[in-house]
Chain A
Amino acid sequence: MSDKWSNLQTEFSNAVRNPEMTPPKELSPLKGGTLATKRFNVYRNNVALSLINILKDTFPVTGELVGPDFFHTMAHHFCAQNLPVSPVMYLYGADFPAFIKQYQPASTVPYLSDIAALEWARNEAYYSADGKPITIEGLGSYQEDEIPNLIFTLQPSLKLIQSSWPVVTIWEAHQQADTKETLESLPSQEESALIVRPHLDVNLRAISASTACFISYLQKRTTFGGAIESAVQLDENFDIPANLAGLFSIGAVTAVGL
């Protein structure tokens, strides 16, 4: 560990992160003693723009909702306050949805933070551990009276986003090239989003609040019976067979056991 170099690195780092600072005096000046500011700015730009570009790639719909200039400014503010903690860059941006929520200029798009949360959940699902789905026939080896006590293991990629906005409808509208502009009229209903990657593709679908409740209890390793009970409390018409079949058919279950 060399102290002199460590101190100069600190000075260099601070100047890279703060454009108003002069570059470190330890850098060689240009001919005639001119400060090599434009040269130093290459590093400033590389750091700032590479981080902003990562957010652009991870949050494309969030970007389309506010336009490239607005997004760039918002991402720039975030990146200025949040340097990555490790070189594993797919983890960068986890706090961006929370940042957007308190970012005043974005308050005119009240669902923006929820869309960013949905995009972050898709990113996490893409990189999460793999799980091999099982079919509903896996329940066949249990007695009928054992079924309520079963514990389900769900895909490691499975995420739920609960929103007061139709987040799935908005996200899906931005997947077709011809409907990329903001939706003319938003459907008024709130939506929960289920994100899961059964194999290579990340799937996203809108689910009811009671289905979201059911799955969230299963994910917390509540028994099947307990999860149903909570869902029925929310919706007395909760369709148990349909929800159970649906969960298996989308490849969300990787194991069941007592």
Chain B
Amino acid sequence: MTISQDILETVNKKQSIDVALIWKTIRRFILYILMILAVLWSVLPLAWVLISSLKPDTETYAFAQDQNILPQEPTFDNYQTLFKVTRFGLWLRNSTLMATGTTLAVVFFGAMAAYSLTRFKIPGFELFSRLTLIAYMMPPIILIVPLFFLLFRLGLVNSLWGLFLVYTATRLPFGIWLLRSYFIGIPQELEDAAMVDGATRFQAFYRVILPQALPGMISTGIFVFSVTWHEFLFASILLFSPSKQTLSAGVATFLSEDWIYSWGMLMAAGVMISLPLVLFYMFLQRYLIAGWGGGGLKG
């Protein structure tokens, strides 16, 4: 609908339709088709999960025969089963705590560190930057055994606090690396000008640099939240009581069983794991686009 309006507008603007205009219209039409294809490619599989989570298992098993895409009798039974039969509610709570805490810690400490690394020429900082990069590239798998020793010594094995520390420390290098690239992009002159005008460095940072770096901090936050929310390896090895498990590691136990208890219930689990993330992201996405559109446009 909006597509044809757009084309009509383009057409109505000019009195005479020349070849260039036709070309332009065709080009725009193709661009719109491509845009729709890109969106479908991205969301169709996920839409299928949502749809299937609302179907009773009898409909799911009949799909190959009757090819009914939409649920004939939509139901929330799968969700009820999920919370009643499994410990899903508990895993949901644990993952929420981990992802939120880690995001806040990484954005806060990461912005501090990134600012420090880009603005002050102190001996040893360059070395630390390199070390940070190395820490950041660490395959998580290499850390499993040593971290187990370390957390054991600290009495933090099988504890959500221990996992929180591990998450924050292993996500910080990326946070610093990404934030650094944003801080480097902010001209030093902006800050210097504020300081010449009588601002302290803190004021310059808070009033001038921070607003400029906000899109970077939001991008970092979105990233850290999503990777921590679905983290599997550390959680599956560093936590072993079923009551302390997080979402990915918990749901993975369904997949490692020899038979699938109920596909509908698994799809409901998929929706539940994705939903808070998607809502959170949509809320922040507006800031992200605002940041992309304005403020960031500098020569």
Q: Do A and B come from one complex?
A: no
Chain A interface residues (CB < 8 Å from chain B): none
